[in-house]
Structure 1
Amino acid sequence: MTETRDFYAELLGFVVGFEHQGWYIQMASPIHPQLQIGIVRRDHAFTPTAFQHPSQGVIISVQVKNVDAAYTDALKRGFPIAQELRDEDFGMRRFMVPDPNGLLVNIFSFP
């Protein structure tokens, strides 16, 4: 829980809005508070039993103003890069990092 909270605070600048010690953390963008992420301990009763296993195939996409600066910051912080910074044919510039739970975070911008 702590590692996941710290990851989103460092990567996206999200801040904790609410924390129920040990099983739930609600985080939000300080600039756009409607952008939120809830972190729930996987084995807590809140999570249905069928979903108490690692997720796969989930990508969280976050658009930023300057993807090059975000990439440089991710490297400085030592985040593992799942996909290097690249330009896509459809105009997106992006890179991907896994969060501590293995969810991919796609950081992107459009020129």
Structure 2
Amino acid sequence: MRSLNGRRSRRPPSRAQQHNDQQLLALHQLIAEKLLAQPDLALPLLEKLELRYQSGLIKHWGYIRWYSMLTQLDQPELFRHALLEDSESMRRLRRKTLLTGILTEDERQQVLSSEISG
């Protein structure tokens, strides 16, 4: 179904998708803090981003968005705001995150278990 502006209208997210998005947001909050504390972790991410883009695995808008975020680590509030933005486009980017390998499995599990109990 198309809306008046010609774009496809989206169905509201299911409860499962909303829960998944909440978990991803919680994980990305910890990732943000870790990247801000250890900005040297960004260089391999920029290389991974470039490789994904050159391989056609990421669209141009996603490439620009990730690149601009990763180059804002010297501005913590801008970086946090961009990464944790509550918009459909950022939820989509977090679902296919570039930021894998930043958290240890223990950190990941701690966030997910606190998300469940909280």
Scaled by the length of structure 1, the TM-score of the pair is 0.29
Name the structure, 1 or 2, with higher relative contact order (CA <8 Å, separation 6+): 2
Which one has a bigger Cα radius of gyration? 2
- Report the TM-score when normalising by structure 2: 0.28
